[in-house]
């Protein structure tokens, strides 16, 4: 038994200290918590630590933050957080879920098997595109309903964002030369400051648009569990609201950065693009590198703090050192990435597989997908998932609205391309003049241009359009539109055919 652990924790490693008498008890430690796995439950006890950004030094504070942890995580995890329970000391021994003489508090949760954890599923290659789409939608839905207010928005100001970003480098000073080289510490710090100068006006604009929300703060693959139809998101930050009150782009970037840390940028791209399709928040692309660097630095800092804990043992400290260095390497890769903008459009009737093919190409190339359905509804002041079905050529599908939509597609593409990301415009592009506009844009920017040509037999198109029943799907296209689309479709010219991607 590890006698360097507190007596309370040593006592709770015994099965008889729990009312349900689990068959065994396992301890997992983080730098801020003891996690006791006593199936079918988990008990999380906060360590009496102080890190500047976190203060668990008194029993009262630990209990308060246990209550906050349950309240906040119930937003995104159905029936997982069961409540806060007492740990009592009786005759010098400690017992869980005992209120006779409380000396500590614990968060009680249902046990979630590791095989349901997104991190494990990615590691074991047990994920598919549809699951990543579901996760992107779940996060978009969470952010859509998350609280915002003038008080919350205050934390998203450019000065506050800069403070938190630079705080990482200050807190990493003791680790320069161990977990992070001195040269890279200086380069990453300089890049962060320079990037903030460029993004200040955009960040302040997002504050005005209500993009600062009471989010998760620690959105990682180890905190997402897949249980049948449910996506459980657990372990949000409760100890410091400043780390939750943030731009939604920062929350999403954390998850995508960590999936990239697992060497699966293709899966991160699917989550990212589904989130954009559900929210229409293409503005966040310009912040993407900044927040991925920031989040990688946060994770490297946390691993560095774990490395400094002697009680983690040599094996745990060695693993933390390797982890910290990998996160810092990933952060450095973002600031040194070579921009490879390219512009690709889809071309085909509704139901011909344009979105599927766009997603396949984007997951390989890291492209940002801009869907005409999302942009069209945004221009009309509608949510991407709202229904706007109307007769072809009327409502938001009138010729005037369609022209506005295709103009907006080109404008958004230029913004994202100049930020250094490849773009795929997912639309029918049935008219040659609309295709000419984007081909000219690629020529003006001197970047590669391509066309994904999608076709399918008419009976297949009708079957697919009749089968569209997904309420999360931005497209309103139905079988009634097919005849009109076929009438107006202008085939690719020989010149355009030369741009078709194999």
d(CA 248, CA 233): 15
Q: In which residue are the tokens 């020529």 written?
A: 443
Q: What domains lie within the chain, and their CATH numbers?
A: 7-111 (no CATH), 116-335 (3.90.1200.10), 343-497 (3.40.50.300)
Whole-number pLDDT of residue 396: 77
Distance CA 234, CA 224 (A): 6
Which tokens go with 270? 């699917």
Q: What span, in angstroms and rounded, lies between the C-alpha atoms of 201 and 375?
A: 23
DSSP 396-425: GGSHHHHHHHHHHHHHHHHHHHHTT--EEE
Structure-token match 């000419």, residue found: 436
Q: What's the rounded Cα separation, in Å, for the pair 392 and 43?
A: 57
**Distant-in-sequence, close-in-space partners of 246: CB < 8 Å, separation ≥ 6:** 155, 156, 212, 213, 215, 217
Look at residues 44, 54, 31 and name the one whose alpha carbon lies nearest to residue 87: 44
* Residues pairing with 44 in the sheet: 35, 107
Q: Residue 151 has what pLDDT?
A: 96
Backbone angles phi and psi of 249, in degrees to 5: -65, -35
Backbone angles phi, psi at 2, to 5 degrees: -75, 100
- Measured in whole angstroms, how far is the alpha carbon of residue 304 from the centre of its chain? 23
Distance of alpha carbon 244 from the chain centroid? 13
User: Which residue's entry shows tokens 């997912």?
Assistant: 426
Residues 6+ apart with CB under 8 A from 186: none
**pLDDT (0 to 100) of residue 25:** 98
Residue identified by tokens 């309240």 is 71
Q: How does 321-338 read in b/e, with b if 16+ C-beta sit within 10 Å?
A: bebbbebbebbbebbeee
Q: What is the pLDDT of residue 389?
A: 59
The DSSP bridge partners found for residue 246 are 213
Q: How many CA atoms lie within 13 A of 107 on its CB side?
A: 27
Give the pair of three-digit tokens for residue 227: 């249980």
**Side-chain half-sphere CA neighbours of 414 within 13 A:** 13
**pLDDT tens, residue order, the chain (502 aa):** 455 899 999 999 999 999 999 999 999 998 899 999 999 999 999 999 998 889 999 999 999 999 999 999 999 998 999 999 999 999 999 999 999 999 999 999 999 999 999 999 999 999 999 999 999 999 999 999 999 999 999 999 999 999 999 999 999 999 999 999 999 999 999 999 999 999 999 999 999 999 999 999 999 999 999 999 999 999 999 999 989 999 999 999 999 999 999 999 999 999 999 999 999 999 999 999 999 999 999 999 989 988 998 777 888 899 999 999 999 999 999 999 999 999 999 999 988 999 999 999 999 999 999 999 999 998 988 877 666 555 666 677 888 999 999 999 999 999 999 999 999 999 999 999 999 999 999 999 999 999 999 999 988 888 888 776 555 555 555 666 778 888 889 999 999 999 999 7
In angstroms, what CA-CA distances link 382 with 145, 230, 278, 379, 385?
A: 16, 27, 11, 7, 8
CA 450 to chain centroid:
29
pLDDT at 434: 97
What is the predicted pLDDT for the residue at 485? 84
* pTM for the structure as a whole: 0.90
pLDDT, position 479: 63
The SS3 assignment for 343 reads: strand
Give dist(CA 276, CA 274) in Å, integer: 5
Burial class (CB in 10 A: 0-12, 13-18, 19+), 124: exposed
Two tokens at 203? 């960040």
Alpha helices in 280-312 (DSSP H): 288-307
**Secondary structure of residue 339 in the 3-state scheme:** coil
- Check residue 482 and give its pLDDT: 79
User: Which tokens in the block code for residue 381?
Assistant: 């002041």
Contact 104, 87 (CB under 8 A): yes
Q: Specify the residue for token string 């913004």.
A: 415
Cα(439)–Cα(215) distance, integer angstroms: 39
Number of H helices, E strands in the chain: 18, 14
Beta strands in 149-305 (DSSP E): 212-214, 224-227, 230-233, 245-247
Structure tokens at 214: 């009471």
Report residue 447 as tokens: 């970047």
């Amino acid at each position: 038994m590890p006698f360097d652990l507190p007596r309370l924790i040593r006592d709770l490693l015994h099965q008889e200290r729990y009312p349900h008498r689990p068959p065994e008890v396992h301890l997992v430690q983080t730098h801020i918590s003891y996690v006791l796995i006593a199936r079918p439950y988990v008990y999380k006890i906060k360590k009496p630590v102080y890190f500047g950004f976190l203060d668990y030094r008194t029993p009262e504070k630990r209990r308060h933050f246990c209550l906050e942890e349950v309240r906040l995580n119930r937003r995104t995890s159905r029936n997982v957080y069961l409540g806060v329970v007492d740990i009592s000391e009786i005759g010098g021994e400690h017992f869980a879920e005992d209120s006779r003489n409380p000396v500590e508090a614990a968060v009680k949760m249902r046990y979630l098997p590791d095989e349901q954890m997104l991190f494990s599923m990615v590691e074991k290659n047990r994920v598919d595109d549809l699951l990543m789409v579901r996760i992107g939608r779940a996060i978009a839905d969470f952010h859509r309903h998350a609280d915002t207010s003038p008080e919350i928005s205050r934390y998203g100001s450019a000065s506050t964002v800069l403070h938190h970003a630079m705080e990482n480098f200050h807190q990493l000073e003791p680790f320069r030369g161990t977990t992070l080289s001195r040269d890279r510490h200086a380069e990453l710090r300089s890049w962060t400051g320079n990037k903030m100068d460029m993004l200040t006006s955009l960040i302040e604009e997002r504050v005005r648009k209500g993009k600062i929300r009471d989010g998760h703060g620690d959105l990682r693959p180890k905190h997402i569990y897949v249980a049948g139809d449910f996506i459980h998101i657990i372990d949000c930050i409760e100890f410091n609201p400043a780390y939750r009150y943030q731009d939604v782009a920062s929350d999403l970037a954390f998850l995508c950065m960590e999936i990239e840390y697992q060497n699966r940028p293709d899966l991160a791209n699917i989550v990212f693009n589904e989130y954009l399709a559900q929210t229409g928040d293409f503005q966040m692309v310009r912040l993407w590198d900044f927040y991925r660097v920031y989040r990688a630095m946060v994770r490297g800092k946390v691993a560095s703090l774990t490395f400094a804990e002697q009680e983690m043992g040599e094996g745990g400290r060695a693993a933390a050192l390797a982890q910290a260095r990998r996160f810092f390497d990933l952060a450095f890769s973002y600031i040194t990435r070579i921009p490879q903008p390219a512009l690709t459009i889809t071309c085909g009737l509704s139901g011909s597989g344009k979105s599927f093919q766009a997603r396949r190409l984007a997951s390989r190339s890291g492209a940002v997908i801009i869907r005409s359905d999302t942009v069209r509804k945004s221009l009309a002041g509608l949510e991407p998932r709202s229904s706007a079905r109307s007769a072809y050529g009327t409502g938001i599908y009138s010729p005037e609205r369609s022209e506005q939509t295709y103009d907006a597609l080109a404008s958004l593409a230029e913004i994202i391309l100049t930020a250094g990301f490849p773009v795929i415009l997912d639309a029918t592009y049935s008219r040659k003049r609309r295709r000419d506009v984007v081909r000219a844009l690629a020529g003006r920017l001197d970047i590669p241009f391509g066309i994904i040509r999608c076709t399918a037999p008419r009976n297949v198109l009708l079957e697919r359009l009749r089968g569209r029943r997904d309420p999360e799907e931005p497209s309103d296209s139905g079988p009634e539109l097919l005849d009109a689309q076929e009438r107006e479709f202008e085939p690719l010219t020989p010149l355009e055919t030369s741009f078709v991607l194999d």
